[in-house]
Amino acid sequence: MRLAKFLAHAGVASRRAAEEIVREGRVTLGGDIVTDPAREADGSLEVRVDGKPVRAPEERAVWLVNKPPGVVSTAKDTHGRRTIVQLVHAPGTRLYPVGRLDADTTGLILLTDDGDLANRLTHPRYEVPKTYIAEVEHGPVRESSLRRLREGVELDDGVTAPAGARQIRAGVLELTLREGRKRQIKRMCAAIGHPVKKLSRVAFGPLRLGDLGEGHVRRLSPAEVQRLRDAAAPPAREPG
């Protein structure tokens, strides 16, 4: 594997940022400074960035699931309900949901055994966009109300960050959030007088649900996992 890819997979930075880090002479391979991002790093020689050892990236699995209603998105449920983890057959792999969807929300949720990636994808700092389709009561929604959703709605835990909001057809909204508070879409829509009847997530960062059927799952390709890592990679200049 090329050195830049090795660093990106290890979660050091995005691929492009990793190339930059290498060119800057901050990376050593087996103790020698390497400035060519295409140098082979097969794990046999220790890699360090700014003197700090980098753990070799293992083959991590990320699954995309189209969550049906009634399935909970925690790894375990104390009430014996069906969990999202049970939908994926991956023997020997301990999978964790990336963030949460309410039990009655359907759509795109990711599962992974890469705890570090899962944490970064849900950390507010990286602002990974998530897109939802919400069917609301009392449609159509006025433009002035859509503007409130875009500019920020006062909720009991503070004003929401700028969001994408458009009406696809009367009473059906496409909303894109870069934060992920509990029941946020439902609370935002209720705050503008249009409670949610039905909610589905259709995109998470660079990934779209596409035509994957409800209850179906698919494992992401290495290229898709890389795009996901890039969406939640620390900036190049920040060590660690």
Catalytic residues: 102
Applying CB under 6 A, which of residues 199, 209, 217, 231 lies at the interface with ligand URA? 199
Question: Following DSSP, what letter does each residue of 7-52 receive, concatenated?
Answer: HHHTTSS-HHHHHHHHHTT-EEETTEE---TTSB--SSS-EEETTE
Tell me how far apart the alpha carbons of residues 160 and 148 are, in angstroms, rounded to a whole number: 10
Sole binder of ligand URA in the list 16, 150, 178, 183 (CB under 6 A): 183
184 is a site residue for ligand URA (CB under 6 A):
yes
- Do residues 155 and 191 lie in contact, with contact meaning Cβ atoms separated by under 8 Å? yes
Residue 71 as a binder of ligand URA (CB under 6 A): the answer is: no
Query: Binding residues for ligand URA, how many (CB under 6 A)?
Result: 8
Residue 231, classed as helix, strand or coil, is helix
CA dist 132 → 1, 115, 164, 178 (Å):
37, 24, 10, 12
> Is-contact 173 133, C-beta < 8 A?
yes
- Write the interaction track for ligand URA spanning residues 125-164; mark x where CB under 6 A is met and - where it is not: ----------------------------------------
Counted residue by residue, the chain has a size of: 240
Nearest approach in angstroms of CB 180 to ligand URA is: 7
186 binds ligand URA (CB under 6 A): yes
As measured in angstroms, the least distance from the Cβ of 87 to ligand URA is 17
101 binds ligand URA (CB under 6 A): yes
Q: Which residues bind ligand URA (CB under 6 A)?
A: 101-102, 105, 183-186, 199
